[in-house]
Amino acid sequence: MAEAQLSGDTIPENNQLAEIPKIKYDWYQTETHVVISILGKNVLQDSVNINYDCNTLNLRAHFPQCPDYSLILNLAHPIEPSQCTHRAVPSKVEIKLKKCDGIRWTQLERKLDEPAPVANFSMAQVPVDSGPPKYPSSAPHAKDWNRVVLEEGEDKEEGEAALNSLFQKIYLEGTDEVKRAMNKSFQESGGTVLSTNWKEVGHDKVDIKAPDGMEWRNWEQ
């Protein structure tokens, strides 16, 4: 169980160090989520402010025993920010982080000298969703990642390993929208579609797409 603490500028009388209030947090996980519990009581619900990023969590809240509580976590594995939630109850603040990969976390935070985690995409038989429409970008030198993927995919001499490396590079260097699009399309399609265009996949569920010449069937029906 970890601890976070508040540092203040107020110097107590007689040059004695006042005891710094501590609020502990703990975590557990399921197959799809990591759940963090901030064990502070009677938090002001309107004061809970959490910013989710693919690799980090930044929380600020007002507890009676710690008015300027803050917590920053450099996560051990990537998460899906759009699917993360939190709730405040009298005994704690509970945060649910949606895993990008269905893997078991051995630790909550990565070490400072470790690189930022990257989602683990398996590229076998994953068609690139590169169909129209193509939306113009306001960036002066924006990359069309779909075109880059198609051009790389046509180079058969490099093989699947090179394509895997390319997608890892796109995810690492892409914008937050590119990362969200890749995560959402890959997860919702069961690993059969990978899109880098958030405007195409952000609002609707991404359907499963069978490889050419094959048909997808739900055997539970």
For the chain, give every domain's residue range.
2-98, 118-221
Contact status, residue 160 vs residue 124, Cβ threshold 8 Å = yes
> The tokens of 207 are what?
């359907």
Three-state secondary-structure class, residue 130: coil
**Residues 139-155 pLDDT 10s:** 555 556 666 555 555 55
Do 202 and 181 form a contact (C-beta atoms < 8 A)?
Answer: yes
User: 15-46, pLDDT tens digit by residue?
Assistant: 444 555 689 999 999 999 999 999 999 998 88
**Could you please report the per-residue DSSP string of 143-205?**
--HHHHHHHHHT-TTTHHHHHHHHHHHHHHHS-HHHHHHHHHHHHHTTTS-B---HHHHSSSP
Record the tokens describing residue 54, joined without a space: 């693919």
pLDDT digits (tens, 9 = 90+) for 164-204: 777 777 777 778 888 888 888 877 777 777 788 888 888 78
Cβ(108)–Cβ(38) below 8 Å: no
Structural fold of domain 2-98: Immunoglobulin-like (2.60.40)
Q: Which of 135, 209, 124, 210 is nearest to 178 (CA)?
A: 135
Reduce the DSSP state of residue 136 to 3 states and report it: coil
Other C-beta atoms closer than 10 Å to the C-beta of 93 total 24
pLDDT at 151: 58
pLDDT of residue 182: 82
**Cα–Cα distance for residue pair 9/157, rounded to 1 Å:** 62
Using 50, 70 and 90 to split pLDDT, how confident is the model at 119? low
CA separation for the pair 74, 211 (Å, rounded): 37
The answer to whether the beta carbons of residues 23 and 66 sit under 8 Å apart is yes
pTM flag (> 0.75): no
